């Protein structure tokens, strides 16, 4: 049996892990939840858990995989809790942004709402694939499901999104 070597002994520390991975952890939570305060809370919870479990982390690569997996699990849990306790606040009002003529804000918002309406597993697969740019094999590892299931979720999610876009007149013309 291989002994677990704390990251501090291989030149990694908690602060460095937070700095290197905070954007990824927050991104997973925010893209799944679409709620800044809740995503920040989830990210904080993930890093608190990392601090508690730092001695079990074997390498920088293991830390990345561990953080991604925990972020996914905590985001899903927070989404389930939110369904039971819906809330609307000022933080959900979008902030003004500069206009980019190449970007259609209405289309972007429509697509975000359509992704948010996907079933939980399909939504997380889409976020991990297209936002976090993970390959299906990596997604399978994070979500602990067979690669074929990941591909099936992705295929069904994309078909559902295409269908919704066509119904809204947003499909190819």
pLDDT, one tens digit per residue, over 43-87 is 999 999 999 999 999 999 999 999 999 999 999 999 998 877 655
Give dist(CA 20, CA 1) in Å, integer.
30
Percentage of the chain lying above the pLDDT 70 cut: 77
Domain spanning 100-173, CATH architecture: Orthogonal Bundle (1.10)
Say yes or no: do domains 1-93 and 100-173 share a fold: no
Percentage of the chain lying above the pLDDT 90 cut: 60
Please state the domain extents for the chain. Answer: 1-93, 100-173
What is the structure's pLDDT at 107? 64
Looking at per-residue pLDDT, the higher value among 166 and 88 belongs to: 166
CATH assignment of 1-93?
1.10.1740.10
Determine how many CB atoms are found less than 10 A away from the CB of residue 102: 4
- Please give the model's pTM, rounded to 2 decimal places: 0.65
Looking at per-residue pLDDT, the higher value among 9 and 171 belongs to: 171
């Amino acid at each position: 049996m291989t002994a677990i070597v704390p990251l501090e002994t291989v030149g990694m520390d908690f602060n460095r892990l937070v700095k290197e991975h905070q954007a990824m952890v927050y991104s997973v939570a925010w893209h799944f939840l679409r709620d800044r305060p809740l995503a920040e809370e989830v990210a904080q919870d993930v890093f608190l858990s990392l601090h508690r479990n730092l001695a079990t982390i074997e390498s920088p690569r293991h830390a990345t995989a561990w953080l991604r997996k925990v972020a996914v699990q905590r985001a899903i849990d927070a989404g389930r809790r939110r369904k039971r306790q819906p809330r609307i606040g000022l933080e959900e009002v979008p902030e003004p942004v500069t206009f980019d003529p190449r970007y259609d804000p209405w289309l972007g918002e429509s697509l975000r709402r359509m992704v948010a309406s996907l079933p939980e597993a399909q939504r997380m697969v889409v976020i991990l694939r297209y936002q976090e740019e993970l390959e299906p094999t990596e997604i399978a590892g994070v979500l602990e499901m067979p690669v074929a299931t990941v591909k099936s979720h992705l295929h069904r999610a994309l078909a559902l999104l295409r269908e919704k876009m066509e119904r809204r007149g947003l499909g190819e013309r």
